[in-house]
Amino acid sequence: MNKPLRRIAIFCGLLVLALLIRDNWIQYVQADSLKDDPKNRRVAIARYATPRGDIIVDGNPITGSTKTSGDDFNDFEYKRTYKDGAMWAPVTGYASQAFGATQLESIEDGILTGDDDRLFFRRTLDMVTGKKQEGGNVVTTLNAAAQKAAYNGLLKQGKGAVAAIDPSTGAILALASTPSYDPSTFAGNSTKVDGEAWKKLQKKNNPDNPMLNRALREIYPPGSTFKVVTAAAALEHDLYTDPDAKTESPDPWIMPGTTTKLPNEGTIPCENATLRQALRFSCNTVFGKVGFDLGKDKMLETAKKFGFNEEQFIPVRSSASNFPEEMDKPQTALSSIGQFETATTPLQMAMVASAVANNGTLMKPYMIDKRQAPNLDVIEQTDPEKMSQPLSEENAQILQSMMETVVKEGTGTNAQINENGVTVGGKTGTAQRGVDNSQNPYAWFISYAKTSDGSSPVAVAVVVEDESANRGDISGGGLAAPIAKDVMKAVIDSKPGS
């Protein structure tokens, strides 16, 4: 071969090599980025070419899929539908052709679309048989009756949230938030229909912010419900061991280092009150002094054991509740009665009640029971997992008896369930907010129910934001406790043999 031909052959060989390298680079190195590129419409078309799998509650789907109408782009064949969408939105989130996905719809997208790696062999089999790809199902831990009770109770009050947990496992039974939204209204890709619905739900256009998941993402001052944590700290750190022994708590109590009196509400009997009576009447002086005497480090240690100061993933992310890490002694006193910078999600306070009900053991909260293949084979099952031990069994049972006194003869009587030997323990809270407490407070109630066999199937936290109510009518016992009662009763009544 002469020299010119050799050069041409080498040049052609280099071109072929460059082509092969480029081809492999695109197919293997850049495959994921090209697949996820928003300009790659083929991926979106394939995504909506088949129905999504479903999110399941009590054996029934709360989601579905439907053929798109003429208002949608014709190359998107299916879009998401929701049953009682507004009630379940804090659980499902949304899946929209135009606006993406959130919460379970986003986190479990691989299972629901059938793209999850664990479904690889199923997809391969479908390719061989010519069957269209199908999505799997996400089976939740939610209790439909409890969710309905929570949502309907909140609707009567306006804004608020409910979280309910099975103390023995950590399984979430209810997760409600109002005002809410129906994800079906913007599930498609129509500028006229879905785009307008989306705009109306945005906070800048709707000050009620209906797309905020108040059960997981809003942190509120907990008010006196936090006194349960302070009582736990007092017992665990041996500041007081007998709930019926008098405490060293003057009334009025001036926080040392200040000239500020820590006030109690009305004329309740708080001077040197026992821990039981202090929780029953919600004495600020007693629990403020408990926090002051224990000090920041011990209070912070107990709060963290209950889950404060860290995000929770259930698997949807819940905002971290806050117990301040930097504060002086008077600030510690205020923080210990749920004031100063103490702030919490409803989920967090449900975890507090849950740990007390479960004899001091806090189970990790979760809301997915199992993930299923399209043929309903279980590909992953969630096993309950211990998270921490905020209380010893003995101290937890002491605190249970104190919380049960609150419901029997204290501020929480509206949560009583007087049937089938059910015992309820709880704590009310009225959380101040606004400059100089100028705005209507939040009404709180946390509780658990214990059945005649001694088990505790449910713990609940309820917060109500009622800006239109008369200030004097706002109380945890008046607004939040009846909702908690209905949720607890719904769980108990849904148990086999009830």
Please state, in angstroms and rounded to a whole number, the distance separating the CA atoms of residues 70 and 72.
Answer: 5
Q: Which residues lie closer than 8 Å to 260 by C-beta, 6 or more apart?
A: 254, 330
Q: Token digits for 486? A: 């209905």
Q: Compute the distance between CA of residue 183 and CA of residue 176 in angstroms, rounded to an integer.
A: 15
Instruction: Name the residue among 130, 121, 109 with its Cα closest to residue 55.
Output: 109
Helix axis angle, 284-294 to 296-305, nearest 10°: 100
Please give the Cα distance from 381 to 372 (Å, whole number).
Answer: 9
Residue 481: which residues within 8 A CB-CB, separation 6 or more?
Answer: 412, 413, 414, 415, 426, 428, 445, 447, 462
Q: Provide the b/e sequence for 321-355 (b: ≥16 CB within 10 Å).
A: bbbbeebeebbbbbbbbbbbebbbbbbbbbbbbbb
Report the alpha-carbon distance of residue 443 to residue 14 in Å, rounded: 75
DSSP state at residue 116: S
In single-letter form, the type of residue at position 326 comes to E
Residue from 96, 224, 318, 456 carrying the catalytic annotation? 224
Tokens of 274: 């026992």
Give which of 387, 398, 459 is closest to 162, Cα–Cα. Answer: 459
Residue whose tokens read 């919380």: 403
User: Quick one: tokens of 379?
Assistant: 């590909």
Backbone angles phi, psi at 127, to 5 degrees: -65, -40
Q: 3-class DSSP state for residue 55? A: strand
Q: How many CA atoms lie within 13 A of 444 on its CB side?
A: 33
* Residue 190: active-site member: no
Residues with a known catalytic role: 224
